[in-house]
Chain A
């Protein structure tokens, strides 16, 4: 190790380190850097005392201020809940129709209902209630279990075909599988139902008599449906088990409807829906009902 000496060129001292004859100039840190360094050290001591710092075996030192970002979040959530409680209380204390009549409440309920809908309902019914194959479109004006605001709220509360005692229950007989109708009869009924859907039923078709005997008791003489038992109307262009947009040519569309009717009569499919009163509060359910009712098809 060489000794510390003064470098004649720069007028500065060397560090005393030498590698292969190369010596290093001593370049001390600037004063401001040292100052900032010590200020940071002092700051860190204050930080240890005030803030959560050291990990312990089962936890950490909380610090005098006891700060935690989770605590912040909990405070914010609690504040939000108090703020919302005012609105929810008003919504819960009024019948759904009165909520819709009040412009302020309607705006709040539609906004809140949309959030709840996208979280809970959209997985099946689609964003905006667009519907999917087997899941009813909620934006149109066809309702299996009724489209008034109270009927919608009832359906949201108790659901369809679940274990809740108040749920909507109904089952279509398995006409094909149980041998009530022959495959030939089922095809004849399907042909007749297509004319019902066009609102021009042809009574001379062989399916007309079969329809009157077997189907009309639930679906109605003219195929108008029955909301008490969730029997869908057949006298319109809306089909649960068909593609939703109906973008095909009329021939392909008719073939699809015919096939879906035959399949349904032979071995019926039944949709189910949870009873949301078991998961959501009454205010949220009312907001959902208002939202769905104002999607455009509410009665």
Chain B
């Protein structure tokens, strides 16, 4: 008996058909929006993902040593791999799409399948809008309408903590507490730095999630802080635009980045029925700094496995079985090619068990003629 490792699974049946539909529709949508395909290798050097600009944890990667002693990994992230690849591409093409697996051992299932977009050299607003509207367009094409898009921004937390002058360890601890919405820990860390006002602001920020009223409240609260008002204006613009396109939207102003290269708007889509996250992304202008270049970037990735669980399968096609013989097999094949939009099987005898909609016995027709 041969077994599968924990987290690995065979793909079969309707879910596999759904995945094929998801990738096909994705390709149709993004090609129509003028994206160009890119694919990077499954095997990369660990350093691509663990360097300080990217900051992934080596312990979460599937890795081994190559013959020179370098650590190689199975691709854990598309965005970083694509940044490495695009640095050598001519600057004319700005919009790229990809489809394929990523591998991490801190996620359920180790292998997860993604389809995503990367937009480089795109100004603030244009890039965010194109990313989010691609998501709306794609989910509409999949006939998924019961979802919620959440908007956040890295700049709010980073602006508010500036007066604290935290070292790297302190900042990371505070960021983790914000990520977990640990009210008491956030308050304690900031109060230890002697700033009760910032402590109060951050504790309030933890609960600053909801609909447009949240944006209105904070625009008023922060009216004298230009940096924060500009962020609210951007989020408000994105919020209104998405609503106009028929999407349900919320904001979470207390959201913080989880990877160091994020540097602006962050977004993710929840499926309301299951609570699962079907896409996530944002702006990451700092990602390309590792290549000593100043290239802006924004994008998002869809979780194909999550989408495959909720889309409606394509209507089943009629299934016909042609019963042929070695003498009539070519005739059967010619007939098959004329039967458009029908699933056609060829057999030499009627199977004992079958679920064809129709059986045409060509051997009888030959005998009868």
Query: Does chain A bind chain B?
Result: no
> Which residues from chain B sit less than 8 Å from chain A, CB to CB?
none
> Which residues from chain A sit less than 8 Å from chain B, CB to CB?
none
